[in-house]
Amino acid sequence: MSKDCNTVWENCLAFIKDNLPDTHVFETWFKPLQPLKLDKDILTLKVPSMFFYEWIEDNYIDLLRASIRKELGENARLLYSVVMDTGIGDKSTRSVIPSTDKSATQNRPTSIPISSSPMREMLNPFVIPGLRKVKVNSQLNENYSFENFVEGSCNQLARSAGYAVAQNPGKTAFNPLFIHGAVGLGKTHLVHAIGLETKKRFPEKTVLYISAEQFFQQFVDSTKSNNRNDFLQFYQMMIDVLIIDDIQFFANKQGTQEIFFQIFNGLHSANKQLIITSDKSPADLSGLEQRVISRLKWGLSADLQMPDAPTRVEIIKRKLYKDGITMPEEVIEYLAYNVSTSVRELEGALISLLAHSSMSKKEITLDLARQMIDKFVKSNTREISIEYIQKVVCDYFNIPINIMLSKTRKGDVVQARHISMFLSRKHTQSSLAVIGSKCGNKDHATVLHACKSVQNSYDTDKKFRADLDAIEKKINE
């Protein structure tokens, strides 16, 4: 009884699937193969691309040959019919003999051209380059390095983990490294820094930064042009470190999540590094499939918070130094303590002040900063921070902030600390525990006692009342 090529191939697929540890490998590399004909003991399979052919040859030929010999006997032979892209929109096919078919190796072509056009450097990182390992545009911004990233308590975990990943990509417990935080806190800067450091340490590795929106658009384009397999192969085979920014953009995009899930599994199983950012933690993301969220939780999740006042001061100083600009210390501190919503808005306020000074030909002074920042803050809904209150209080009593936050019990320092706690409770939405933690690591009971003490002094001591009213006026200026 003669065998049909489709039946033979279906039986081969069943055997292959049973012998693969991961179903996504089966779906990616074997489902797209199509049986064309069976001539005696020779089975011809249609392969989507030369890249596909090479990958199967390098990784799965033994399994493929075993499945065919199981169906057709020890004399079975395999022939590929590879779809060739001519580079001008037309496609043709070419027969290729498998390298492990020893009865035919003597007749095997020594080289197989991919296209009649010469290979050029790949500027678009989403075009399959064929058999050659070409340069992939990493899309990294050279200005976003670790040297330009200001470290503070707000980002210490994420920064340390990122640096560890750059030293040993794909081989730490931080895979994936998931960095999350509100807009404008430095997520993009940090992941660019990780990518740049990785490239510096491992020039042979291919690093790619891409926004989730870009990834989505490229996937849509590949689907429209029927190149989805090439898209998948590019990411799984070519990339060593994949950085995807703002993954929340994948919400409710089922097809994009499906292809990302396959790419994630392929890269992770190959010990390649994934770095992902979002505006929310994995547990708080909505619109993503549970299996995608579970993958995002596999490694380390590190959040970025708003930098504290000393870190904001350092950010401003670092930017001024880079641009070769000098500015009075009191102006720098005024900016840092009054713009506390995000790093992006802090830099925006600095640029606005510099631009106004340049165009009006006015010297940068504290008065000019007040005029500019008052307008800027009003348009961005000003929030009084605990750090700003502490600075105003310490400036009023001429006490360094680090002394006020220390454990000293000197009377004037204790008074300043208590007033800071009292005004923080009055002018912010922070809990007693948060206020205590930022006022020298005190507990909530200490904060409550301080507030009662300040209120009692205000009611009974005229000088104390005058001091507190003056401080509060400065806070509300």
Rounded to 10 deg, the angle between the 343-360 and 309-323 helix axes is 50
Residue type, 103: S
Pick the closest to residue 248 from 154, 181, 175, 162 (CA basis): 181
Where do runs of H (alpha helix) occur along 270-404?
A: 290-296, 309-323, 329-338, 343-360, 366-379, 386-397, 401-404
Tokens, residue 32: 């797209």
Structural domains of the chain in order of their starting residue, each with its CATH number: 5-105 (3.30.300.180), 146-304 (3.40.50.300), 309-379 (1.10.8.60), 395-475 (1.10.1750.10)
- Which residues lie across from 95 on neighbouring strands? 81
Q: Which residues contact 469 (CB under 8 A, 6 or more apart)?
A: none
**Neighbouring C-alpha atoms within 13 Å toward the C-beta of 59:** 14
Q: What is the DSSP letter of 136?
A: B
**Neighbouring C-alpha atoms within 13 Å toward the C-beta of 21:** 3
Pick the closest to residue 243 from 273, 216, 213 (CA basis): 273
What separation, in Å, do the N-terminal and C-terminal C-alpha atoms of the chain show?
95
Pick the closest to residue 240 from 190, 201, 279 (CA basis): 201
C-alpha distances out from residue 111 to 80, 107, 122, 131, 264, Å: 15, 12, 22, 11, 33
Residue type, 395: D
Q: What is the pLDDT of residues 419-464, one digit of tens each?
A: 999 999 888 878 888 898 888 888 888 999 999 999 999 889 999 9
Q: pLDDT of the chain along its 477 residues, tens only?
A: 457 889 999 999 999 988 887 676 787 788 888 898 888 888 888 887 766 776 777 778 888 888 888 888 888 888 888 765 433 344 445 455 554 443 332 333 323 222 323 333 334 444 444 434 457 889 999 989 998 888 888 888 999 999 999 999 999 999 999 999 988 888 999 999 999 999 999 999 999 999 999 999 899 888 888 888 888 888 988 899 999 999 999 999 999 999 999 999 999 999 999 999 999 999 889 899 999 999 999 999 999 988 888 888 888 988 888 778 888 988 888 888 778 777 877 888 888 888 878 777 888 888 888 877 766 554 444 557 788 888 889 989 999 888 988 888 898 999 999 999 999 988 887 888 889 888 888 888 899 999 999 999 988 999 999 999 999 888 876
Q: What is the pLDDT of residues 31-90, one digit of tens each?
A: 888 898 888 888 888 887 766 776 777 778 888 888 888 888 888 888 888 765 433 344
Rounded distance, CA 321 to CA 315, Å? 10
Residue type, 120: R
